[in-house]
């Protein structure tokens, strides 16, 4: 285990990567963390969703979201290029457990390239009905790795219903 957690590489999967939550909140926040130097040198952000996109199209969409919603304002070309070099996209059907082999291959490829086990984060920016499906398929494909360095983050939005009577 590295002496400094910032030294440990990160593979950050975003399920529901083409959705509004990722576009408006998650990726702008990750970009801000990158600009504030909170990321290690070796990191990868892998978006996945049903939508068929090229990595370039995915990066363009994410940059548009960052330019609109980042607390730091619009991206600068050099900073964006540095960040975008770490962004990848894998279209997939989250219901198909065989699709998850791609995620395992990505983790293995990064582990070999970086010569170090990465911290793996699965961020679920999807509807709640997908939470158990994704978690089961991650487990079935043995993608949980080291429990000290693997996390599943579930985005839980609390929505107030405005048409309820005042109490």
**Nearest residue to 33 (alpha-carbon basis) of 65, 72, 67, 7:** 72
What per-residue confidence (pLDDT) applies to 4? Answer: 56
Query: Which domains, ranges and CATH numbers included, belong to the chain?
Result: 25-125+141-154 (3.40.50.720)
Contacts of 146 (CB under 8 A, 6+ apart): 117
**Which residues are paired to 44 by β-bridges?**
11
134 neighbors 15 (Cβ within 8 angstroms): yes
Is the per-residue pLDDT at 156 higher than 80?
A: no
Is the per-residue pLDDT at 163 higher than 70?
A: no
pLDDT digits (tens, 9 = 90+) for 18-38: 999 999 999 999 999 999 999
Give the number of residues written for the chain: 167
Ranges assigned E (strand) in the chain: 10-15, 43-49, 87-91, 119-124, 150-154
What per-residue confidence (pLDDT) applies to 157? Answer: 55
Is the per-residue pLDDT at 143 higher than 70?
A: yes
pLDDT digits (tens, 9 = 90+) for 27-68: 999 999 999 999 999 999 999 999 999 999 999 999 999 999
What is the side-by-side order of every strand in the sheet holding 10-15?
87-91, 43-49, 10-15, 119-124, 150-154
Query: How confident is the model over 96-124, as a mean pLDDT?
Result: 96
């Amino acid at each position: 285990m590295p002496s400094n957690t910032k030294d440990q590489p990160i593979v950050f999967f975003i399920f529901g990567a083409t959705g509004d939550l990722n576009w408006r909140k998650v990726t702008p926040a990750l970009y801000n963390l990158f600009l504030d130097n909170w990321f290690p040198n070796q990191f990868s952000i892998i978006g996945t969703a049903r939508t068929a996109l090229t990595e370039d199209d995915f990066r363009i969409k994410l940059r548009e979201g960052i330019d609109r919603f980042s607390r730091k304002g619009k991206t600068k070309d050099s900073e964006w290029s540095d960040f975008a070099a770490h962004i990848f996209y894998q279209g997939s059907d989250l219901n198909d457990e065989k699709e998850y082999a791609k995620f395992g291959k990505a983790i293995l490829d990064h582990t070999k390239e970086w010569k170090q086990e990465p911290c793996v984060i699965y961020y679920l920016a999807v509807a709640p009905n997908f939470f158990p499906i994704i978690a089961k398929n991650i487990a079935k494909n043995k993608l949980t790795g080291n429990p000290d360095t693997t996390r599943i983050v579930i985005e839980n939005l609390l929505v107030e219903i405005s048409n309820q009577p005042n109490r």
